[in-house]
Chains A and B, each alone.
Chain A
């Protein structure tokens, strides 16, 4: 870690808590949903950071907090050296020009009453860019060309396009301001399989041409692995593992990452049969009332009697990876090139000293504490959490 260029985006101790309100006349705050609970990450210029996790783990909220679309409760978001979390008013508006977002649902994020020309020129006009009507028209034609849409699309409305084309419009709008950072929240999960590949290829091509930096948020591990340089795995509001894509998929260290990867179906029956499958017990616990200690301990097949239940693991680099064995580096530095894991027993699990238990055993030892999201204490957190970033159903 020499004094190379500073990462474009650095997130430090980011927290986003949503209050749960109760009461008819007086809003009492009865608790908090800890959607994001202390995340550190850094993204180098021109690279892609992939954030994976299941619905309700806080990955979308993290993306939105970086853009200040939701207000962070605590922590810092350093974009190119400026703390975005403390900006307001005009400086924030200017900063947003450099950070854009591509949303999951292409139809829901495009105004049905604006045609493509109006959709694409709006950001340019809002930021006073493009150089007048003629300049904007020129620029828009270039944008359509870049995302592979015909210029005849200009006069058409979002409903006239297919899902893949709509997502292209969304991407064109996001790159119209020539941003440095593009946050893509589930960019392909609402699309058909054959169209997903087109959009993924488009994102890759644009990155190469425009030197963009991506934060890609997705639940599909195969897609994330395909486009990312560094991958972070989130569980219940915090990162449990982060590593270069290659290293993470070759040797997942955290039990959750291993379970997640073994759950992804591979389109090859021969591989499917040979694969070791780690089934997890139960569902994601409620983020309003996360488990103590390691948040994964209620479902972990490798859970131990000591430490797991009461000691919160920090992200650390394992001995024998890159750091010397006697001087483990500190977790405060989330440099992307390191393989960090937040598990007390990662070494033992890696070396096969500890053996996993079956899902039934885990469920039995945890008893009733394995509960569904929102099923405890009467908080209707389910409704709060569901739909935040659940994949859109394909019909």
Chain B
């Protein structure tokens, strides 16, 4: 029950990333069925005080990535490969006791649906203090006081009363705040937020995003934001990894990504969302088909069947190799043989609505 194995507090601000994920792969196997590779060679790292975004549509493997990092995937029928290091400690294959100690104290997660991730039969207070008693060796009274303070910090009015209430008595936004309070109870170095605002209304979403933004600035927590909403990414994340069919297909700084998306998929996503600030009547250009139309990466680029830029050499058969994730200018990586191109000097680097 000690955390000596981890680097001391002073090491927090060094260049060593808080989380390093290297070549992570997750395969689900069921007897009598073809194994499914949900995550396929994903690598990224997050430094203290940094926010990265994992973006993609349903089924692209972003949530499975986060569960693999937290070690929350079931043992049976799941193969996890690669390496996940939290402050230098390897998490994959680590004994349960180590993981138990780290989860909640060093790394924490906020889930999408606050109602189903809170225990409906236990008051909020008990659920928040549980973390404190377990990881910070607090007494019950001390923990209750601390819990009230935590709820106050995430903006829940009248926290002492709320502690006695059950999850169904709170509104959606408050439940999500309570969940964030639980995640923050031990000031973790890594916070993974899996679609934290998808089930919420826009005005509440704005409150929660503001809260997360403050946290990263105030405490230097490394934040991994998993979302399908490009607007959320644009406002919050420093670096963005776009995923498709289990692989990262484009990585860039947020300014670069939104100004000049290179992967046709990223460009297509940006062009298919109606924007509040664009002129009305600008026609949307949807991406053809749906994420179901992907082909296995072994046969070629998974996006090729839906891609307007696709050519014959996007297929492994023709080119002789799968499309690799390659260096694409400073701070950018790209997995595409026929990326979107832009004139050499972009007019006003803002390029609102690039790819339109």
**Chain B residues within 8 Å of chain A by Cβ, number:** 60
Minimum CB–CB distance from A363 to chain B (whole Å) comes to: 7
User: Within the complex, what minimum Cβ distance (angstroms) separates A25 from chain B?
Assistant: 25
Give the residues from 225 to 247 in chain B that come closer than 8 angstroms, CB to CB, to chain A.
Answer: 228-235
Known: A54-B203, A374-B171, A395-B58. A266 touches B272 (CB 8 A): no
Does B219 belong to the interface (CB within 8 Å)? no
- Inter-chain contact B207/A279, CB cutoff 8 Å: yes
Interface residue B335 (Cβ < 8 Å from any Cβ of A): no
Q: A194-B286, A263-B202, A267-B231 are in contact. Are A280 and B207 (CB under 8 A)?
A: yes
Please tell me if the beta carbons of B274 and A223 are within 8 angstroms of each other in the complex: yes
Given A264-B276, A280-B203, A395-B112, 13 more A-B residue pairs with CB atoms under 8 Å apart are: A165-B290, A194-B291, A197-B274, A226-B274, A246-B280, A259-B203, A263-B205, A265-B232, A270-B350, A370-B157, A393-B199, A394-B58, A394-B195
- Bound-state CA distance A394–B56 (Å) is 11
Q: Give the CA-CA distance A290 to B17 in the complex, in Å.
A: 50
C-alpha spacing A179/B108, complex, angstroms: 52
Find B233's partner among A55, A262, A267 (CB 8 Å cutoff): A267
Residue of A nearest to B171 (CB): A372
Q: A271 CA to B206 CA in the complex, in Å? A: 15
Query: In residues 266-298 of chain A, which contact B (Cβ within 8 Å)?
Result: 266-272, 277, 279-280, 282-284
Of A138-146, A312-320, A337-345, A383-391, the one with at least 4 CB within 8 A of chain B: A383-391
Q: Is B313's beta carbon under 8 Å from chain A?
A: no
Which residues B316-356 have CB closer than 8 A to chain A?
Answer: 350, 352-353
> What 0/1 readout, one digit per residue, does chain A (238-266) give for beta carbons within 8 Å of chain B?
00000001100100000000011111111
Interface size on A, residues (CB 8 A): 61
Q: Which residues of B contact A198 (CB under 8 A)?
A: 286
The contact of A201 among B228, B286, B350, by CB within 8 Å, is B286
With both chains docked as a complex, state the minimum distance between the C-beta of B303 and any C-beta of chain A, in angstroms.
11
Q: Are A225 and B276 in contact (CB under 8 A)?
A: yes
Q: Is B173 located at the chain interface by the 8 A CB criterion?
A: yes
Given known A263-B203, A264-B202, A283-B171, contact A197–B273 (CB-CB < 8 A) = yes
Interface status of A162 (Cβ within 8 A of chain B): yes
Q: Given A163-B290, A268-B234, does the pair A54, B202 have CB atoms closer than 8 Å? A: yes
Chain B residues, Cβ within 8 Å of A390: 172, 199
User: Is A373 among interface residues, defined by CB-CB distance under 8 A?
Assistant: yes
The CA of A393 and the CA of B112, in the complex, are separated in Å by 8
Answer yes or no: B168 CB below 8 A from chain A CBs: yes
Contacts of A372 in B (CB 8 A): 169-171, 173-174
B90 within 8 A of A: no
**B-facing residues in A169-198 (Cβ within 8 Å):** 192-198
Q: Which 9 A-B pairs have the closest CB atoms?
A: A265-B231, A197-B286, A197-B272, A372-B171, A226-B274, A263-B206, A267-B230, A54-B201, A194-B287
Decide if B58 touches A269 in the complex (CB within 8 Å). no
Q: How far is the CB of A272 from chain B (nearest CB, A)?
A: 4
Determine how close the nearest CB of chain B comes to the CB of A348; give it in whole angstroms.
23
Smallest beta-carbon distance A245→chain B, Å: 6
Contacts of A149 in B (CB 8 A): none
Query: Which residues of A (343-395) have their CB < 8 Å from a CB of B?
Result: 359, 363, 368, 370, 372-375, 380, 382-383, 386, 390-391, 393-395
Q: Which residues of A contact B228 (CB under 8 A)?
A: 192-193, 394
Contacts of B254 in A (CB 8 A): 269
Q: Which of B171, B207, B285, B350 has the largest number of chain A CB atoms within 10 A?
A: B171
User: In the complex, A259→B205 CA distance in Å?
Assistant: 12
Q: Which of chain B's residues 277-295 have a Cβ closer than 8 Å to chain A?
A: 277, 280, 283-287, 290-292
Closest residue of chain A to B279, judged by CB?
A246
Query: When the two chains form their complex, are residues B274 and A225 in contact, meaning their CB atoms are under 8 A apart?
Result: yes
29 A-B residue pairs with CB within 8 Å? A54-B203, A162-B292, A193-B57, A194-B287, A196-B273, A197-B273, A197-B287, A200-B274, A201-B283, A201-B286, A222-B276, A226-B284, A246-B280, A249-B280, A263-B206, A266-B231, A266-B275, A267-B270, A267-B273, A267-B275, A268-B277, A269-B235, A272-B234, A279-B203, A283-B174, A283-B204, A374-B169, A382-B168, A395-B112
Q: How far is the CB of B72 from chain A (nearest CB, A)?
A: 15
0/1 per residue, B194-217, Cβ < 8 Å to A?
010011011111110110000000
> Contacts A372-B170, A375-B171, A382-B171 given: A194-B235 contact, CB under 8 Å?
no
B353: chain A residues at CB < 8 Å are 268
